[in-house]
Amino acid sequence: MTLLERLTAINAASPFSRWAGFTPTLAEAGRAEIELTTRPDLANHAGHLHAGVTQGLVDTVCGYAAATVAGPVVTSHCAVDFYAPATGGRFVARGRVVKAGRRQVFTTAEIFAVSETGEVLVAGGSAVLVPLAPAPTEG
């Protein structure tokens, strides 16, 4: 099973990720990407992507990046900074591992609104994840 297939299976097993509509699109050692096509029930009162969903993207993409090097993980800390209103119909979250240890994996993420004219950075964040088991071998 490839890393992307593994993340896709993890995503399919997560009720929140399924409800939100997250789709893993990239998985490499220490890196992951998720795409989201928004819909009205993911918006806040102003019509922008809700901050909770944006935070969910940060947490999830950081977890997926960590999982590519550490296997199953859980979040012990997550922080998000909002840089601009998350407007538009499509978003991409890019996460990467900053440092992976045996007991903690430090990650960072950026969230972009995507349109025909390009990408706009709307949020960023970081997460610390704790491995639950030894990392699986690539098969």
Alpha-carbon gap, residue 130 to 110, rounded angstroms = 21
Please provide the distance, in angstroms rounded to a whole number, between the alpha carbons at the two ends of the chain: 6
Q: Which domain holds residue 101?
A: 3-131
CATH number at residue 75: 3.10.129.10
Rg over CA atoms, the chain: 14
Nearest to 54, CA basis, from 73, 78, 32, 74: 78
In a domain, 137, yes or no: no
pLDDT bracket for residue 133 (50, 70, 90): confident
Predicted TM-score (pTM) of the model is: 0.93
Q: 38 in a domain, yes or no?
A: yes
| pLDDT higher than 90, residue 27 | yes
Question: Is 74 a member of any domain?
Answer: yes
| 51 has a pLDDT exceeding 60 | yes
Residue 136 included in any domain: no
Residue 30 region by backbone torsions, left for phi larger than 0, else alpha for psi between -120 and 50, else beta: left
Q: What is the pLDDT of residues 67-109, one digit of tens each?
A: 999 999 999 999 999 999 999 999 999 999 999 999 999 999 9
Concatenating the DSSP letter of every residue in 57-126 gives HHHHHHHHHHHHHHSSEEEEEEEEEE-S---SSEEEEEEEEEEE-SS-EEEEEEEEEEETTEEEEEEEEE
How many structural domains are present in the chain? 1
Q: How far apart are CA 130 and CA 101, in angstroms?
A: 9
In a domain, 138, yes or no: no
Residue 139: pLDDT band by 50, 70, 90 thresholds?
low
The total of other beta-carbon atoms located within 10 Å of residue 116's CB is 4
- CA–chain centroid gap for 37, Å, is 14
Read off the pLDDT of residues 102-130 as tens digits, 9 standing for 90 and up. Answer: 999 999 999 999 999 999 999 999 999 99
Q: Distance (Å, rounded) from C-alpha 11 to C-alpha 77? A: 20
Report the mean per-residue pLDDT for the chain. Answer: 95
